């Protein structure tokens, strides 16, 4: 049975292709309804709590806007220093408290595995909005939704994931979701920032996966180029960050080497990875990608709360 009611969303590899199709179908319906100016009430009377212990713009705002678009309401901790975690409260106690206030919890936390821990503390659905250098499953759902919209399909494509594949949670999750499709993956990173071995091994069991440090080679072969930021906050040694920070910068000239219209994606925030002149390119999809966060997160909230 395909269904997400009362389920947690913790990791990208928890999803089946059927569940991804259900989320996409629901998101498409919501996207059209919002575009028509329809006022929705599917989550009327429900409360979402967003608990963000790491910085965020898009993820928190789009979850909150998604909840409001569905007629629900939001309570939020956006500034970790303003919550009792700053007084030494455990995550377990915070979650036990918040379950008394809200029907669904969206958590971003600097520790890998924090969302799993939170999910064990409550029966309310917990959605992982990023656990340190671990996972970012809802981003990968909106990423695959974006690829489908931009390219009209996912199967048969070559997708290059570029940048800090070691620490970037978006690419950990996206590679797992894409491995459900007939996709060829090119993993582009400096040797020091390669994708964790256990993820690569699991991917290789399913799909063709190549690893290379060569961005230009990947651009020439890819239908989709997914750029990511070098994750400064995950580096113990600042000089190592300085050495690697500008490893890849996508320019218009590089993009012209691609076959036809290459779709360029980025979870954002961008630091230096894509020249701003690329924004004019019709394949530059990153701001459309960010906007897709609304319908996809509306779908997730409605499905996990069992409202539809």
Which is closer to ligand NCD, CB of 130 or CB of 258?
A: 130
170 is a site residue for ligand NCD (CB under 6 A) = yes
The DSSP code for 222 is -
267 is a site residue for ligand NCD (CB under 6 A) = yes
Q: How far is the CB of 193 from ligand NCD (least distance, A)?
A: 13
Torsions phi, psi of 239, nearest 5? -70, -30
Which is closer to ligand NCD, CB of 104 or CB of 268?
A: 268
Torsions phi, psi of 107, nearest 5? -120, 130
Which of 46, 109, 136, 172 binds ligand NCD (CB under 6 A)? It is 136
What contacts 273, CB < 8 A, 6 or more positions away? 162, 163, 227, 228, 229, 248, 249, 250, 266
Q: Which of 13, 12, 29, 110 is nearest to 303 (CA)?
A: 29
Which of 26, 128, 139, 148 binds ligand NCD (CB under 6 A)? It is 139
46 is a site residue for ligand NCD (CB under 6 A) = no
Q: For 292, how many CA atoms within 13 A lie in the half-sphere containing its CB?
A: 26
Sites for ligand NCD among residues 176-205 (CB under 6 A): none
Which is closer to ligand NCD, CB of 58 or CB of 206?
A: 58
Residue number with the smallest Cβ distance to ligand NCD:
267
Which of 124, 169, 172, 297 binds ligand NCD (CB under 6 A)? It is 169
For the record, the structure tokens of 140 come out as 């990968």
60 is a site residue for ligand NCD (CB under 6 A) = no
For the record, the structure tokens of 58 come out as 């898009």
Q: CA 108 to CA 103: how far, in whole Å?
A: 17
59 is a site residue for ligand NCD (CB under 6 A) = yes
Sites for ligand NCD among residues 204-243 (CB under 6 A): 228-229
Angle at the Cα of 37 (from 267 to 154), degrees rounded to 5?
35
User: Which chain residues interact with ligand NCD by CB under 6 A?
Assistant: 58-59, 130, 136, 139, 169-170, 228-229, 267-268
């Amino acid at each position: 049975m395909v269904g997400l009611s009362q389920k947690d969303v913790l990791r990208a590899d928890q999803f089946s292709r059927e569940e991804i199709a259900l989320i996409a179908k629901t998101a498409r319906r919501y996207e059209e309804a919002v575009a028509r100016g329809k006022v929705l009430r599917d989550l009327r009377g429900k409360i979402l709590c967003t608990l963000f212990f790491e910085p965020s713009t898009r993820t928190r705002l789009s979850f909150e806007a998604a909840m409001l678009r569905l007629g629900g309401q939001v309570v939020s901790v956006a500034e970790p220093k303003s919550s009792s975690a700053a007084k030494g409260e455990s995550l377990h106690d915070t979650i036990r408290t918040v379950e008394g206030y809200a029907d669904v919890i969206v958590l971003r936390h600097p520790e890998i595995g924090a969302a799993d821990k939170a999910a064990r503390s409550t029966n309310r659905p917990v959605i992982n909005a990023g656990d340190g250098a671990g996972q970012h499953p809802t981003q990968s759902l909106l990423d695959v939704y974006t690829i489908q919209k931009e390219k009209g399909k996912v199967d048969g494509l070559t997708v290059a994931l570029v940048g800090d594949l070691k620490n970037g949670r978006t690419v950990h999750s996206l590679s797992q979701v894409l491995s459900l499709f007939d996709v060829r993956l090119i993993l582009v990173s400096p040797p020091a920032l390669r994708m964790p071995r256990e993820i690569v091994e699991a991917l290789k069991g399913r799909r063709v996966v190549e690893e290379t440090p060569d961005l230009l080679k990947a651009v020439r072969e890819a239908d989709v180029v997914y750029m990511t930021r070098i994750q400064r906050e995950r580096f113990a040694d600042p000089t190592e960050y300085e050495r690697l920070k500008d490893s890849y910068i996508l320019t218009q000239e590089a993009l012209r080497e691609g076959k036809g219209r290459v779709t360029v994606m980025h979870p954002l925030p961008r630091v230096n990875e894509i020249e701003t002149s690329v924004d004019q390119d019709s394949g530059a999809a990153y701001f459309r990608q960010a906007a897709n966060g609304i319908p996809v997160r509306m779908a997730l909230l409605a499905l996990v709360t069992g409202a539809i």
